[in-house]
Structure 1
Amino acid sequence: MKIDIHTHIMPEHIPDWFKKFGYGDFIHLEHHKPCCARMIKGDKFFREVEHNCWDPAVRTKEMDMTEVSVQVLSTIPVLFNYWAKPEHGLETSRFFNDHIAQCCAHHPERFVGLGTVPLQDVDLAIKEMERCVKELKMPGLEIGSNINNLNLSEPKFHPFWQAAEELGCCIFVHPWEMMGENDMGRYWLPWLVGMPAETARAIASMIFGGIFEKYPKLRVAFAHGGGSFPFTIGRIEHGFNVRPDLVAIDNNVNPREYLGKFWIDSLVHYPKAMDYIIDVMGENKVCLGSDYPFPLGEHHPGHLIDSMANLSPATKDKLLFQNALDWMGIDKDLKVIASH
């Protein structure tokens, strides 16, 4: 069994909210040729995508080709729309969530859905989270690594974390709006360098902000192998020890104590890096994640794990599916476990 916790999807037809609302970088699609579409951001070209971005039949065929049993579907981060007016962010979130729920309903044995919420307004975000969990039967949400440049540890987000813990709603944190993005556009550096740093920012801010301390039952996973965080934990801990006046101002617990208390995906592209994250994070906290269907993803999900002869069959099972089930709080039949 393979459960891929990091896959993105969008509807085939998205309303032109730029025209409807009269502002912003809302995305819609222009289907200019078969099996292909242009993503239009506001009124400007953003990216070209293929039909595996929206067509469940194509996805399931490609899943079969790569022996992926289940995809965990989440929206594409450019669709978070955190910058929008709250009521418009809610409207777009509900549209994407209903689409993902429909995909899961039509293919209940192949897809599990994560919702998106308008975190620019925490009260609206909590209401939509409740709808995702209670009505749409989703085990969790995907959120960005920052919310309009605010760290996830900001006090205004504490009610969101409390509600997620109480609902048993798992959270997948994905980098977006990378720090320094406007200063390093050449060489694709925002994606190659900015994304790992952005994920580390999210993890470190949640640790230092005391989120895992205040809400210990949260089940949070971070994309892209935890970004640069696992590889800089020594530096992060050293900073905590030598400058507690700057670092330990909201939480005086050593950051190393939180290793093993959250999950990361397996998207590191390198056997030595895989060995390292398993060693640092623990073999119970790494989940298969491919970033399907995008170029930076693992094109044959789980191939790196399968290829590593030093990993036992039991460890591979944990990485390929068991840890994903634990993080989402679901069983092998993809049903939410009652205790969650």
Structure 2
Amino acid sequence: MTPTAHSRSDHGAPTGYGRSAGVSRRAMLIGAGAVAAGATVATAGGGDAGASPAPTGRYRIDMHAHFLPPEYRAALLEHGHFTIGGYPTPQWSPESAIDFMDRWGIQAQALSVSDPGVSFLRGKDSRDLARYCNTYAAGLFHTHRSRFGAFAVLPMPDVAASIAELEYALDTLHLDGVLLLSAYDGVYLGDPRFEPLMAALNARRTFVFVHPAAIPDNAKPALPLPDFLEEFTFDTTRAATLMLAGGTLRRYPGIRFQLAHAGGTLPFLSWRIGVLAETPIGNHWPAGAPRPSALDVQQLIQTFYFDTALSASEAAMRSVLAVAPRSHIVFGSDWPFSQAVFLEGGGDPAPGLSTVFSTSQRYEIERANPLSQLPRLRSAVG
């Protein structure tokens, strides 16, 4: 029997499918949402009128969703983090998250803290806040078993303390993976200073969500735009490129890296990054690191996972498909930092996906692909 967009299981899932004055942050968010959600007329194959319908029911697994437990949010505000990436630091509660999920067809969210993680603190304060966030997340597994997963925050850039927290979060709390920011104190993932942590992540074959970090004001152009709009995507690209150039992906193949926001600009730059290694400029490649060819870069980029958060558009998705298989695309909402996009009501949270993918392909991206990477959450949702 050919599946339809309306067939559902008892769980509500479809069956049969394998910074400046004068600029309004809210207006920019809404504009970004309009781009992501703009209804173009193309089928999954492209070209013909009429986009494929989205599957129905509460079936989605949200791999890019944030939480701000009370003490964490209070610590952010106490230390002057009134905005995150230029977006006002939002309120969050389990109840508001569940309400959002119910209205937008999401069964569960894999929660993580956003930038700046706990890196705005040091020493015991950082370790304690990381433990608080991770323990809070694990508690949600008991109070809302089928609605939440979580990625552990680590007390970076303290590598030794981060390894200890990694062990506790995965082995004792049984969180689903780990959150890493693209950089800590200006040092990007892929730097040799992080090698012991990468080895520990690799030993556990950890799923790692890479989220961008804000660049200090004195290290970037003074543009009248919030960081989340452009700078976040560039920072993800920097981290991914350095992990390619420094050999992190080759040395630690057991780590599965999810890149936020469709990988930033990595898909667009993929060929250019590989070509660089084959030119005279490539003589400046990091000492001791294998010098990849264009082909090597293409093969390694395919190992990343790419989420759809604020990137569910035809341009972004076709760019990802040009460098990675569909099985490596996962749904993300970026809620509550994207809440101005989801203004009222409910329905399809990412209609732009239907301009590229068929109904059954959307089900893969929005449910099957995420659950294939998070076995504990897969068991919890049934």
TM-score of the pair, normalised by structure 1: 0.83
Q: Distance in 1 between matches of 2:235 and 2:265?
A: 8
State whether structure 2 residue 136 is matched by structure 1 residue 99: yes
Q: Which moved more, 1:304-313 or 1:162-171?
A: 304-313
Cα displacement (A) at 1:280: 1.9
State whether structure 2 residue 378 is matched by structure 1 residue 332: yes
Q: Could you tell me which residue of structure 1 aligns to residue 336 of structure 2?
A: 293
Q: Distance in 1 between matches of 2:136 and 2:377?
A: 23
Relative distance call for 1:312 and 1:129 in structure 2 (3 A) is same
Q: Which moved more, 1:104-113 or 1:293-302?
A: 293-302
Q: Could you tell me which residue of structure 2 aligns to residue 8 of structure 1?
A: 66
Relative distance call for 1:50 and 1:208 in structure 2 (3 A) is closer
Q: Could you tell me which residue of structure 2 aligns to residue 137 of structure 1?
A: 174
Contact 1:104 1:111 survives alignment (8 Å): yes
Q: Could you tell me which residue of structure 2 aligns to residue 264 of structure 1?
A: 306
Contact 2:204 2:254 survives alignment (8 Å): no
Q: Distance in 1 between matches of 2:340 and 2:247?
A: 31
Q: Percent identity among equivalent residues?
A: 22
Q: Distance in 1 between matches of 2:215 and 2:237?
A: 11
Match of 2:110 among 72, 97, 109: 72
Q: RMSD over aligned Cα, in angstroms?
A: 2.6
Secondary structure of 2:105 counterpart = coil
Cα displacement (A) at 1:49: 4.7
Q: Could you tell me which residue of structure 1 aligns to residue 359 of structure 2?
A: 313
Q: Could you tell me which residue of structure 1 aligns to residue 244 of structure 2?
A: 207
Secondary structure of 1:241 counterpart = coil
Q: Distance in 2 between matches of 1:292 and 1:220?
A: 20
Residue pairs, 1:121-132, within 5 angstroms: 121-132=158-169
With CA pairs under 8 Å and 6+ residues apart, which has the higher RCO, 1 or 2? 2
Relative distance call for 1:41 and 1:185 in structure 2 (3 A) is farther
Cα displacement (A) at 1:135: 0.9
Contact 1:130 1:167 survives alignment (8 Å): no
State whether structure 2 residue 79 is matched by structure 1 residue 42: yes
Q: Could you tell me which residue of structure 1 aligns to residue 4 of structure 2?
A: none
Q: State the one-letter code of the partner of 1:326.
A: S
Q: Distance in 2 between matches of 1:330 and 1:225?
A: 24
Residue pairs, 1:104-123, within 5 angstroms: 104-123=141-160
Q: Distance in 1 between matches of 2:174 and 2:376?
A: 11
Secondary structure of 1:190 counterpart = coil
Cα displacement (A) at 1:105: 2.0
Listed one character per residue, the Cα deviations across residues 216-262 of structure 1 (whole Å, up to 9, x for unaligned) are 11111111110011111122122122132123641223321212212
Q: State the one-letter code of the partner of 1:116.
A: V
Relative distance call for 1:106 and 1:195 in structure 2 (3 A) is same
Relative distance call for 1:301 and 1:160 in structure 2 (3 A) is farther
Contact 2:182 2:188 survives alignment (8 Å): yes
Structure 1: any 5+ residue segments left out of the alignment? Answer: 15-26, 30-38, 336-340
Cα displacement (A) at 1:50: 4.9
Relative distance call for 1:83 and 1:44 in structure 2 (3 A) is closer
Residue pairs, 1:235-250, within 5 angstroms: 235-242=272-279, 243-247=281-285, 249=287, 250=289
Q: Distance in 2 between matches of 1:155 and 1:87?
A: 24
Contact 2:207 2:256 survives alignment (8 Å): yes
Q: Which moved more, 1:266-275 or 1:147-156?
A: 266-275
Relative distance call for 1:154 and 1:314 in structure 2 (3 A) is same
Relative distance call for 1:50 and 1:246 in structure 2 (3 A) is closer
Q: Could you tell me which residue of structure 1 aligns to residue 290 of structure 2?
A: 251
Cα displacement (A) at 1:84: 2.9
Contact 1:290 1:301 survives alignment (8 Å): no
Listed one character per residue, the Cα deviations across residues 123-178 of structure 1 (whole Å, up to 9, x for unaligned) are 11011001110111112111110121112112221111111111232110100133
TM-score of the pair, normalised by structure 2: 0.75
Listed one character per residue, the Cα deviations across residues 22-44 of structure 1 (whole Å, up to 9, x for unaligned) are xxxxx527xxxxxxxxx624257
Contact 1:288 1:324 survives alignment (8 Å): yes
Listed one character per residue, the Cα deviations across residues 39-61 of structure 1 (whole Å, up to 9, x for unaligned) are 6242574465554x2x1112111
Contact 2:82 2:89 survives alignment (8 Å): no
Contact 1:184 1:190 survives alignment (8 Å): no
Contact 2:276 2:282 survives alignment (8 Å): yes
Match of 2:266 among 229, 234, 240: 229
Relative distance call for 1:191 and 1:181 in structure 2 (3 A) is farther
Q: State the one-letter code of the partner of 1:295.
A: S
Q: Which protein shows a greater Rg?
A: 2
Secondary structure of 2:258 counterpart = strand
State whether structure 2 residue 323 is matched by structure 1 residue 323: no
Secondary structure of 2:278 counterpart = helix
Relative distance call for 1:307 and 1:191 in structure 2 (3 A) is closer
Q: Could you tell me which residue of structure 2 aligns to residue 23 of structure 1?
A: none
State whether structure 2 residue 350 is matched by structure 1 residue 304: yes
